[in-house]
Amino acid sequence: MPDFTKYIKHAKGLGAKEARIISPKTIVVAEWVRMKCQFGCDGFGQSLTCPPYSPTPEFTRRMLTFYKHALIVHDGDYTDIHGLIPKLEREIFLDGYYKAFGMGSGPCQLCAKCAKFCRHPDKTRPSMEACGIDVYSTVRSNGFPIKVLNMPGCKGNYYGIVLID
Ligand code: SF4
């Protein structure tokens, strides 16, 4: 495996609590995730990085087969996962990993309202869940913590990922 230490260090330098290389084969994609976006999330249809605009679970499942590695990033207390992932993706891409592609967490909130086409395509990526990834199963099977937030104000665990070939 290539040495990805530099990207792990950079992710931590940008505020991540933890970052690690995992196998894309451990990324779980499921159709039910789309249902949770469509019925229950007030971000549905509000952002170009969310369903119905983001890739379907079927597309994501096929896309993952084109990658050998994934850099997973766990947020720290003040980590801007949404901003961090495009930066890491760009760094990895410029190092020659031309297929590098990142996914963050939650809806994009860079603009008050999306335009017909994204105003900042270099600064935003769809979230993992918007692409049909079961974030709970994926991070737990890789040894990271996550739990359902059942009270207002409890601290969550958020994740982003950069796919690398
Ligand atoms: S950067 Fe702006 S236009 Fe693009 S997805 Fe985010 S909110 Fe929408």
Q: How many angstroms is it from 160 CA to the middle of ligand 1?
A: 18
Structure tokens of 18?
Answer: 């933890």
- pTM over cut 0.85: yes
- What's the mean pLDDT when you consider all of the chain? 95
CB atoms within 10 A of CB 98: 9
Of ligand 1's atoms, which has the minimum distance to the CA of residue 119?
3
Report which protein residue has its CA nearest ligand 1's atom 2: 111
User: What digits encode the pLDDT tens for the residues 59-77?
Assistant: 999 999 999 999 999 997 7
Q: Residue 117's domain spans which residues?
A: 5-147+154-164
Number of domains in the chain: 1
Give the 3-state secondary structure of residue 24. helix
What pLDDT digit, counting tens, does each position of 110-150 carry? 999 999 999 999 999 999 999 999 999 999 999 999 998 88
